[in-house]
Amino acid sequence: METSYAQRMSAMKPSTIREMLKLTERPGVISFAGGLPAPELFPVEDIRAAAERVLGECGAKAFQYGASEGIAPLRTRIAEEMKTRQIGCMADDVLITTGSQQGLDLLGKVFLDPGDVILTETPTYLAAIQAFQCFEASFQPVVTDDEGVIPEAVDALAAAGRVRFLYVIPNFQNPTGRTLSLVRRRQLAEIAARRNLLIVEDDPYGRLRYRGEHLPPIKSFDEGGHVIYLSTFSKTVAPGFRTGWIVASPAVRDKLVIAKQAADLHTSSFDQLVLDRYLADFDNAAHVRRVCAAYGERYAAMDAALRRHMPASFSWTQPEGGMFLWVRGPESFDSMHVLGEAIAEGVAFVPGADFFPRGGGGNNMRLNFSNAGIEAIEDGITRLAAICARSAQ
């Protein structure tokens, strides 16, 4: 049968990199490629106990259809958590999503018409590019440095033409590990209010800080409802729950609820109930401290191995949390080309070009440090550095 597809599919190309990265699932390959948390740290026993309690208390009700907004106790709990992040909100302001990834998709459905312009950091999260590409958005990367996206550049672009929203990952950004400075958070909130600019603040990593102080979200400076805040339990509990949330103004939230009804009616009732029980009965803050301690050690091991083995022409970011660091090679370095060789030698990463919606960035690599153990990190970086040294000659 000859099949024709929707116009939008022509912009959505299969990723050669994802195909190559399937090879990294072979035993013996040390992968710094995925964005995977460390599974040995998932609180499996606590979750088992929480699931048993939910089954004992709710029985069949745990498997019934529910409200699109999410279950009330979890929304209330998230609203309380938001206060600790300096965002004042009520349970009604919280929409539970099937991971933050669904939040991005719903925002695309609600806000994007073909050709609409989105401002992004340079580089930005690959799967956000994919999510917004489905709606045939056009990407305008904004100049970004070690303190994050540059507010003056956002201001100039917002003044120059119609922009749908700015998409920003404020903490330990994916892919660079950078954090947006406090001054810039305030400036972005001020620009949003002055220019009537919408900001989508995507914060999956904020709680994974190993060093320094937590910074208030952009949303905490937002008085006019210009900032939509997304977060998730994927990194603080486990990604398999597929449970995240959006905090938005009532008008935006109502539109998102309509989009969510069309997408999946609601996020799994059972998953929400178990998560809520786990958060009520167990010490998640202590769990997050353990995760931070482990990731902090892994980050330090990767940084030390890079210092020991990488050629002098390479530099990398020094994140204070999160799961990634970003290695920059000399201009002549082609990380896509090097990936094939690296996989053959049993080590993998994601080439930088994928994170630049308008091209470029091919001399960079994203390295994940949360998933591999300390020994594997040392071994993998030794192998990778040798390949980089050969290719940079």
Q: Which is nearer to ligand PLP, 35 or 357 (CB)?
A: 35
244 sits near ligand PLP (criterion: CB under 6 A): yes
In one-letter notation, the amino acid at residue 175 is: P
Tell me the residue number closest to ligand PLP, measured at CB: 99
C-alpha distances in angstroms, 211 versus 303, 304, 371? Answer: 14, 16, 19
Q: Which is nearer to ligand PLP, 176 or 391 (CB)?
A: 176
Q: Are 326 and 366 in contact (CB under 8 A)?
A: yes
Number of residues that bind ligand PLP (CB under 6 A): 13
Q: Provide the 8-state DSSP code for 223.
A: S
Q: Which is nearer to ligand PLP, 35 or 321 (CB)?
A: 35
Q: Which is nearer to ligand PLP, 205 or 333 (CB)?
A: 205
- Binding part of the chain for ligand PLP, among 59-67, 72-80, 94-102, 349-357 by CB under 6 A, reads 94-102
Q: Which is nearer to ligand PLP, 70 or 385 (CB)?
A: 70
Q: Which is nearer to ligand PLP, 78 or 388 (CB)?
A: 78
* 281-300 binders of ligand PLP (CB under 6 A): none
- Rounded CA-CA distance 289/196 in Å is 38
Residue matched to tokens 């048993």: 52
Q: In this structure, how many other beta carbons lie within 10 angstroms of the beta carbon of residue 56?
A: 9
Q: Which is nearer to ligand PLP, 202 or 320 (CB)?
A: 202
Q: Which is nearer to ligand PLP, 323 or 338 (CB)?
A: 323
Q: In this structure, how many other beta carbons lie within 10 angstroms of the beta carbon of residue 23?
A: 14
- Binding part of the chain for ligand PLP, among 93-101, 328-336, 348-356, 385-393 by CB under 6 A, reads 93-101
In one-letter notation, the amino acid at residue 64 is: Q
Least CB distance to ligand PLP at residue 390 (A) = 31
- Rounded CA-CA distance 199/191 in Å is 10
Least CB distance to ligand PLP at residue 239 (A) = 5
234 sits near ligand PLP (criterion: CB under 6 A): yes
Nearest to 201 by CA among 86, 293, 295, 289: 86
201 sits near ligand PLP (criterion: CB under 6 A): no
**What are the phi and psi torsion angles at 119 (to 5°)?**
-90, 135
Q: Provide the 8-state DSSP code for 238.
A: -
100 sits near ligand PLP (criterion: CB under 6 A): yes
Q: Which is nearer to ligand PLP, 30 or 104 (CB)?
A: 104
Q: Which is nearer to ligand PLP, 93 or 202 (CB)?
A: 202
Among 176, 179, 232, 371, binds ligand PLP (CB under 6 A): 232
Among 206, 239, 329, 362, binds ligand PLP (CB under 6 A): 239
Among 24, 68, 101, 176, binds ligand PLP (CB under 6 A): 101
Q: Are 312 and 374 in contact (CB under 8 A)?
A: no
Least CB distance to ligand PLP at residue 382 (A) = 27
Ordered alpha helix ranges (H), 87-241: 99-111, 126-133, 151-160, 182-195
Dmax (CA) for the chain in angstroms is 65
Among 121, 136, 201, 202, binds ligand PLP (CB under 6 A): 202
Among 37, 66, 70, 99, binds ligand PLP (CB under 6 A): 99
In one-letter notation, the amino acid at residue 88 is: G
- Binding part of the chain for ligand PLP, among 77-85, 97-105, 132-140, 313-321 by CB under 6 A, reads 97-105
E runs forming strands in the chain: 30-31, 94-97, 117-120, 138-141, 144-145, 148-149, 165-168, 199-202, 227-232, 244-247, 315-316, 324-328, 347-348, 350-351, 364-368
- Rounded CA-CA distance 35/80 in Å is 28
125 sits near ligand PLP (criterion: CB under 6 A): yes
Among 174, 368, 370, 391, binds ligand PLP (CB under 6 A): 174
In one-letter notation, the amino acid at residue 24 is: T
Q: Are 157 and 142 in contact (CB under 8 A)?
A: yes
- The string of DSSP codes covering 186-198 is HHHHHHHHHHT--
Between CA 252 and CA 266, with CA 92 as vertex, the angle to 5 degrees is: 75
Residues that bind ligand PLP (CB under 6 A): 35, 99-101, 125, 169, 174, 202, 204, 232, 234, 239, 244
